[in-house]
Structure 1
Amino acid sequence: MSLIPNLPKFECDAPISIGGLLEDVMSIEQFPNELAKTLQGINGDQLNLSYRQGAWTIKQIVHHLADSHMNAYIRCKHIITQDQEQIQPYDENAWANTADSNFHHEASYLILLGLHQKWSLLLLESLKDFERQLAKTIVHPETHKTLNLGNLIRLYAWHGSHHLAQIKFALESNQQ
């Protein structure tokens, strides 16, 4: 159970519709703007806040978002351009503790800004051939789940809002 009220879990098996996917692509496109609004005026001490004890700091979350969404963009590109392929997994906790995760969060924000512009164009173009793209799949070797492009779009639209809620909760719950 989450400490954050009304934080929905990702539902991988929910029905996929073109309308829902278009909303999710718009969410992906707008995510960097939402993140910028949330981080506006944040100071160095606040970057070290977390939404619960033992969780990643806000700074680590921002760096994680860049790492994760770069991987997601590549996964989407693989599914669009290649036949059945395995996802390359990575240890997100190890990545959150590498030297670059101590670098200023603005570098990761700038990555997200450019990446999400490219990503949303790629996804919108792929949805023109909705049925064919949804028929193509990739497999996660650790979870053994088979995912299609619709699953990935929904997952990463949710992923951004999920971590944005964690950042907002950390900032709100640590106000004096």
Structure 2
Amino acid sequence: MMDLRYPIGSFEHSGEITVAQREQWIEDITQLPASARQAVEGLSPEQLSLPYRDGGWMVKQVIHHMADSHMNSMIRFKLALTEDNPTIKPYYEDRWAELSDSRELDIEFSLQILDALHRRWVGLLHTLTDADFAKSFYHPGSQETTRLDYNLGFYSWHGRHHVAHITSLRERLGI
């Protein structure tokens, strides 16, 4: 049986990250806004308030979370590109998801953020060199240094992961 928390599995990548792999991840990031829109298309307000699994976020919280998380990632990219291994500011994504904007606002606002943010992010990503992708940031929560090419892969997975939360719920409920 599928683990509803990880419908596409967890992110895993080891070894060198090739140019072809980065290009695929950039394409995934390019497609995420359209995939997110398609995943929620036609859902009623009641359906958007359903949790994607027992104990999980509501569908609308998942959409708002993607906007929050991907904004943070874009900022982390820019920090790493302009500073030497900067220490980034972690945030409590679970607490952010409980704020009124994530629980109550129309998902269209976050879908528009994803549309615009991903256009800018992809525009930036297409200009980065191998040396840029080798730049990194330090996460004080995990106490890990993360290269931008690895973070690119993580966010490729992150978007597909959350879209799969929604699409797998729709499949299970037949909606």
Question: What is the TM-score of this pair, normalised by structure 1?
Answer: 0.92
| 1:87-126 map, 5 Å | 87-101=88-102, 102-126=104-128
Asked if the contact 1:25–1:123 (Cα under 8 Å) also holds between the matched residues in 2, the reply is yes
Question: Aligned-pair RMSD on alpha carbons?
Answer: 1.7
Q: Any conservation in 2 of the 1:86–1:138 contact (CA below 8 Å)? A: yes
Counterpart Cα distance in 1 of 2:35 and 2:174: 20
Gaps of 5+ in 2: none
Partner residue of 2:36?
Answer: 35
Identical residues among aligned pairs (%) = 36
* Distance (whole Å) between structure 2 residues aligned to residue 57 and residue 110 of structure 1: 19
Q: Distance in 2 between matches of 1:54 and 1:114?
A: 31
Helix, strand or coil: the match of 2:149? Answer: helix
8 A contact 1:136–1:149 mirrored in 2: yes
Q: State the 1:134 CA deviation.
A: 3.3
Moved over 2 A (4+): 3-6, 12-15
* Offset, 1:15: 3.0
Question: How many angstroms does 1:175 deviate by?
Answer: 2.7
Equivalent residues of 1:51, 1:166 under 8 A apart: yes
Q: In structure 2, how many angstroms separate the alpha carbons of the residues matched to 1:120 and 1:40?
A: 24
Q: How many pairs were matched up?
A: 173
- Cα deviations across residues 116-160 of structure 1 (Å, max 9, x unaligned)? 00000111101xx21x12332111101111111101110101000
In structure 2, the residue corresponding to 1:146 is in which secondary structure?
strand
The DSSP-based 3-state class of the residue aligned with 2:127 is helix
Counterpart Cα distance in 1 of 2:169 and 2:27: 25
Instruction: Output the TM-score relative to the length of structure 2.
Output: 0.93
